[in-house]
Structure 1
Amino acid sequence: MMKVTISRKGHFSAAHRLYNPHWDHNKNIKEFGKCAYINYHGHNYEYIVSITGEINSKTGFVFNIQKLKNLIHKEIDIFFDHKNINVDIEEFYDVNPTMENIVIFLWNKIKKKISSNLNLKITLYETKNNFAEYDGS
């Protein structure tokens, strides 16, 4: 049977700071630039959640898009929106909240909620030009 990919876009606003506590301030500034400033900084993140699978012959869906909308609203939007990722999200207390680490975290949250026979890819835009993609591989 043929596989089809469906996608849904979303967005959230959040602050973070890139910082390695094992380095001194100067090394952090050298590596992360203004992203290491002590007062944090924010982004208007955008993301795309894509699910690939076979079309269900009874529903005509790969995955119900309304269920996907509700799932990402709960698991991503509410979870991240207007949060300081370093301070408000326990999973990032000891993990540098780079776009790479955030996209893997998002993928793990959503993958647990969908059928194992579906493939998942998430694209996270930190800016319009900077983005990371993760598909579990």
Structure 2
Amino acid sequence: MPIVYLSRREHFSAAHRLHSPKLSDAENLAIYGKCNHKHGHGHNYKVEVVVKGELDPTTGMVLNITELKECMKVAIMDVMDHKNLDMDIEYFHDKPSTAENIAVFMWMSLAKILPKGELHEIVLHETDNNVVIYRGE
């Protein structure tokens, strides 16, 4: 049976502040610079989710794209869109909301609810120039 990769992209907006509770205020400022501003800042994120799996010989699909869209809505969009990631998502209460940590959070959230197929990759565009790829490793 052929193995196929299926991808869907969504956009969302969210605010955050790069700040680690494990560091002093001076260390946070030195590491994160203007992204450590006490009132935070925002991004228009783009996220691409890639699943892989055997091509179903009857449906011709790895996973119905409608199901992937709904999983992304539940695990990502409803949770993160127009939110302050640090304040509104418990996962970020004790860790910095870097793009890397956001991608890991998305992976953990999606992995719990995908009906079939294997989560292969999260590609998170924080900006046009800053991109994180996470494969669950």
- Bin the TM-score by the shorter chain: over 0.9
Q: Does 2:127 match 1:102?
A: no
Q: 1:135 matched to which residue of 2?
A: 135
Q: 2:81 matched to which residue of 1?
A: 81
Once the two structures are superposed, residues 92-129 of structure 1 have per-residue CA deviations (whole angstroms, 9 ceiling, x without a partner) of: 10011100011011011111112575242110010011
Q: 1:2 matched to which residue of 2?
A: 2
Structure 2's unaligned 5+ residue stretches are: none
TM-score, scaled to structure 2 = 0.93
Give the 3-state SS of the residue equivalent to 1:71 in structure 2. Answer: helix
The runs of at least 4 consecutive aligned structure 1 residues that moved more than 4 Å come to none
TM-score, scaled to structure 1 = 0.93
Alignment of 1:10-49 (within 5 A): 10-49=10-49
The two structures, once aligned, show a CA RMSD in angstroms of 1.4
Structure 1's unaligned 5+ residue stretches are: none
Once the two structures are superposed, residues 44-70 of structure 1 have per-residue CA deviations (whole angstroms, 9 ceiling, x without a partner) of: 010100111110112111010011111
Give, in whole Å, the separation in 1 of the partners of 2:69 and 2:116: 19
Q: How many pairs align?
A: 137
